[in-house]
Amino acid sequence: MFVYSVKTKHIRVIFLAAFVLFTAVSLMILSNESQETSSNNDMILSAETHEERMKFISQFGWQVEEEPYSVKEVIIPEEADDVYNAYNELQRLQGFDLNEYAGVRAKCWTYVIKNYEGYENQECIHANILVYDGAVIGGDICSVELDGFMHGFSGENGKT
């Protein structure tokens, strides 16, 4: 017959080592999950208040008029057409996807950009921010001129 005795001190050390190992593994798993779920390259997405919308726009270097040019309610289409798919592709390049919000009512806040380089008529350059439930879900920078343009918040390629 074989008998092995373990002192209480050894049991405590084993339990402490197991606890530390469990805690370290748990923290690594949680850290990886939070990195995967942090969307849009750690961009500020809060847009419930005026100040939050200003912070959102300014993180891309844009300066806008203090008051919005317009605020309107929009419904994200449930069925996509070619125009919507092209616009949503721009959103995907920025880390957004409007398909996740199909059928919901959102607000579109439009601001006049004051510092768009190369444009004499700054009043025709707008920042559109789509907001749902207090957070930015998409948007664009565009010119409202006849031969205008549209791109993502950070530049012409739409990437943030």
Note the pLDDT tens digit of each residue in 4-19.
Answer: 665 666 555 454 444 4
Higher-confidence residue of 7 and 34: namely 7
Residues 51 and 118 in one domain: yes
Residues 26 and 80 in one domain: no
Residues 49 and 33 in one domain: no
What percentage of the chain carries pLDDT values higher than 70?
71
Contacts of 101 (CB under 8 A, 6+ apart): 76, 132, 137
On whether residue 69 sits in a domain, the answer given is: yes
pTM of the full structure: 0.71
pLDDT band at 118 (very low <50, low <70, confident <90, very high): confident
* Count of domains observed in the chain: 2
Residues 80 and 134 in one domain: yes
Per-residue pLDDT, 43: 80
Per-residue pLDDT, 158: 41
Higher-confidence residue of 141 and 27: namely 141
pLDDT in tens, 42-84: 788 999 999 999 999 999 999 999 999 999 999 999 998 999 9
Residues 34 and 52 in one domain: no
On whether residue 156 sits in a domain, the answer given is: no
On whether residue 109 sits in a domain, the answer given is: yes
Q: At residue 135, does pLDDT exceed 70? A: yes
Residues 57 and 20 in one domain: no
Residues 84 and 18 in one domain: no
Burial track 97-121 (b if 16+ CB lie within 10 A, e otherwise): ebeebeeeebebbbbbbeebeeeee
Per-residue pLDDT, 9: 61
On whether residue 104 sits in a domain, the answer given is: yes
Higher-confidence residue of 16 and 156: namely 156
Q: How far apart are the first and last CA of the chain?
A: 70
Which structural domain range is residue 24 located in?
1-38
Q: At residue 40, does pLDDT exceed 80? A: no
